[in-house]
Amino acid sequence: QRKHQTCTRCLTIKYPGPPGSPLNHKKACCSDGFKSKLTDDIVAPWPLPTGIFSNGTHFHPLLFLAQVREIYDRLIIDHVKREDLSLEHDAFLKLLEARLVV
């Protein structure tokens, strides 16, 4: 017997009823209204610094802030040109540029 499909967000069985049943999980969003699939989501540039994201499901904010501080120190305090940064720092800056709204 096959394993039932479960939603990775709400961890409920997706299709407990027959096709079209109101018991079934909606395809586009969870029961709390959160969209389960972002259609216009862009993939982060590679290689990102290690430890900020793990398993594609967990975000570690303290490591994120440490990277922001490290890049700030390199660019602003030490006056290093962006071209001289490591590949990880450059990819991290591209991620920030794509995601931040100022």
Between 13 and 67, name the one with better pLDDT.
67
Q: What is the pLDDT of residue 45?
A: 74
Q: How far apart are CA 6 and CA 52, in angstroms?
A: 26
Residue 102 has pLDDT above 70, yes or no: yes
What tokens were used for 70?
Answer: 């490290």
3-state secondary structure of 81: coil
Give tens-digit pLDDT for 38-79.
Answer: 556 666 777 888 888 887 778 899 999 999 999 999 999 999
Q: Over range 9-21, report the average pLDDT.
A: 84
What pLDDT, on the 0 to 100 scale, is given for residue 82?
Answer: 93
Give the model's confidence band at 33: pLDDT under 50 very low, under 70 low, under 90 confident, else very high.
confident
Paired with 59 in beta bridges are 53
CA distance 92 to 46: 8
